[in-house]
Amino acid sequence: KSRRRWERVVGVLREFEEGCSTPLARLRQVVDAMAVEMHAGLASDGGSKLKMLLTFVDSLPDGDEKGIYYALDLGGTNFRVLRVQLGGKVSGILQRQVESQPIPQELMTSTSEELFDFIAMTLKDFVEREGNDSESPPNKRRELGFTFSFPVRQTSVSSGVLIKWTKGFAIDDTVGRDVAECLEEAMMRRGLNMRVAALVNDTVGTLALGHYHDEDTVAAVVFGTGTNACYVERADAIIKCQGLLTNSGGMVVNMEWGNFWSSHLPKTPYDTSLDADSPNPLDQGFEKMISGMYLGDIARRVILRVAQESDIFGDITSSRIHEPYILRTPMMAAMHEDGSPDLREVERVFRETLQITNIPLKARRLVVRVCDMVTRRAARLAAAGIVGILRKIGRDGRAAAGGRRTESSSSARRTVIAIEGHLYVDYSMFQEYLKEAMVEILGEDVAQNVFLRISEDGSGIGAALLAASHSSSI
């Protein structure tokens, strides 16, 4: 009888493994689909699930920036204020100060004025406390980079209208308003003489810092609670904005790739139920397969099913494994990377978090396998997404759209992708699988010229750099 149950367990696992498999042929289809959707999103507003938002950033920091600049990073549960002192080409970033603070829960659903007043106050305190910038005259207006990681329809590099709140924020009177103006008004009310010189998305900040360190950086990807990407596009390829003129001939485009979808994505019944139970069904499909907010819960759903099909986890009726999002991705990573022979970390997470004890080694091994399948799929799809961008800009070793190979000279060019986010930085298996898939899709020859570079604190520091390169004093 117990043998029959074990067979059912094996059946559930095999079904999941097949459902979420990502052979090279499928990854190639995802690459193609990403490039096609990018084209469609650039052709017209609403032409694709990819919004392909203009950022009006047409030049990226190159190291010449000098002076003291501030940044404000609002995009999740924490917000951060930063102060960066730039010393130009030779000295680089001389000094950086960062302070992080949680946003009080009640402000996330209050009014625009309350939220922005709170932010302006915190910023003012910070400026005054750290305020020994003796180089600048006392009443000089300071320049700020504002990282605002929600979908924004930009009207210039320093202004833009909020399309919708995400990530738990819900303040109706901000939607449709210029968020830079909201902040400037609050700073004025609080007596802080500061100008928003750049309004950017976190991915754009990451790209800016990446480019500051390495001029071959052409795109940036964030793998954190959510996931998103941006890259440098040719202005004439942004068809929906005819006659767009920029100094450099290019512009950074914020893809909002978390909302990407393609029928080639390997979706399983667990993804379907996660989506149906989420507050935004049929939205952010790519993100729900890839980002830190969701991976732990996909694994939980598979493990729960196994537990229901068999008794290898014992009696689970009073355990917490039924609770959505109880298994956070960092715990999942810890179990996945458990190197101890008796899988002590798996035992600990099950006991402490899920309140399931005495699980045999065989069941612990199975848990590790589930984590592996979930993360491997996520990382490989993420890699396909990145190659999709490379395809679109002709850096994947093929001609832009036709698929013909170009001479090796063009593939010998260095291409750097800036990456930020704790899912990538702290989860080494995710990182390994992603890199492995990049090589698989691109081939060794091309892959050796593509570099994934971590851009630490990029979303904030990058915004300060953009404030510097777009400052009114230059």
Q: Which residues are catalytic?
A: 80, 149, 202
> With contact defined as beta carbons under 8 Å apart, do 375 and 423 qualify?
no
Q: Output phi, psi for 425, to 5 deg.
A: -70, -40
Long-range contacts of 269-272 (CB under 8 A, 24+ apart): 269/19, 270/16, 270/298, 270/301, 270/302, 270/305, 271/298
210, 421, 458, 462: which one binds ligand ADP (CB under 6 A): 421
Q: Which residue has the tokens 């308003």?
A: 177
- Kindly state whether residue 427 participates in binding ligand ADP, applying the rule CB under 6 A: yes
Query: In this chain, which residue has its C-beta nearest to ligand ADP?
Result: 292
Nearer to ligand ADP, 41 or 296 (CB): 296
- Could you say which of 59, 147, 259, 329 contacts ligand ADP (CB under 6 A)? 329
Residues 71-130 that bind ligand ADP (CB under 6 A): 75-76
Q: Is residue 225 a contact point for ligand ADP (CB under 6 A)?
A: yes
By the rule CB under 6 A, 422 interacts with ligand ADP: yes
Closest approach of ligand ADP to the CB of residue 78, in Å: 7
Residue in 255, 233, 137, 220 with CA at minimum distance from that of residue 463: 220
- Dihedral sign for Cα atoms in the order 16, 17, 23, 27: positive
**Which residues ranging from 363 to 402 are in contact with ligand ADP (CB under 6 A)?**
none
Contact stretch for ligand ADP (CB under 6 A) within 62-70, 232-240, 307-315, 416-424? 416-424
Any contact of residue 224 with ligand ADP (CB under 6 A)? yes
What is residue 404's DSSP assignment? P
Query: Of the candidates 236, 426, 445, 456, which one interacts with ligand ADP according to CB under 6 A?
Result: 426
Span of 24-32, 136-144, 192-200, 221-229 interacting with ligand ADP by CB under 6 A: 221-229
108 φ/ψ angles, rounded to the nearest 5 degrees:
-70, -15
Q: Which stretch binds ligand ADP (CB under 6 A): 276-284, 377-385, 418-426, 433-441?
A: 418-426
Centroid of chain to Cα 397: 25
Residue 154 as a binder of ligand ADP (CB under 6 A): the answer is no
Nearest distance from C-beta of residue 299 to ligand ADP, angstroms: 12
77, 82, 86, 91: CA torsion to nearest 10? -70
Closest approach of ligand ADP to the CB of residue 226, in Å: 6
Q: How far is the CB of 166 from ligand ADP (least distance, A)?
A: 11
Specify the stretch interacting with ligand ADP by CB under 6 A; choose among 210-218, 246-254, 380-388, 422-430. 422-430
* Degrees to nearest 5, angle at CA 170 with 165 and 173: 90
Query: How far is 257 from 81, CA to CA, in rounded Å?
Result: 26
Reading phi first (left if > 0) and then psi (alpha if -120 to 50, else beta), residue 142 is in: beta
Contact 259, 68 (CB under 8 A): no
Say whether residue 311 binds ligand ADP (CB under 6 A): no
Three-class DSSP category at 239: coil
Task: Based on the shown chain and the rule CB under 6 A, indicate whether residue 292 belongs to the binding site for ligand ADP.
Answer: yes
- With contacts defined by CB under 6 A, name the span among 98-106, 137-145, 218-226, 339-347 that binds ligand ADP: 218-226
Nearer of residues 5 and 167 to ligand ADP, judged by Cβ: 167
All residues at 6 or more sequence positions from 315 whose CB lies less than 8 Å from its CB, including other chains: none
* C-alpha distance across the termini of the chain, in Å: 78
204 contributes a contact to ligand ADP by CB under 6 A: no
The single-letter DSSP state of residue 406 is P
Would you tell me which residues interact with ligand ADP (CB under 6 A)? 75-76, 224-226, 292-293, 329-330, 333, 421-423, 426-427
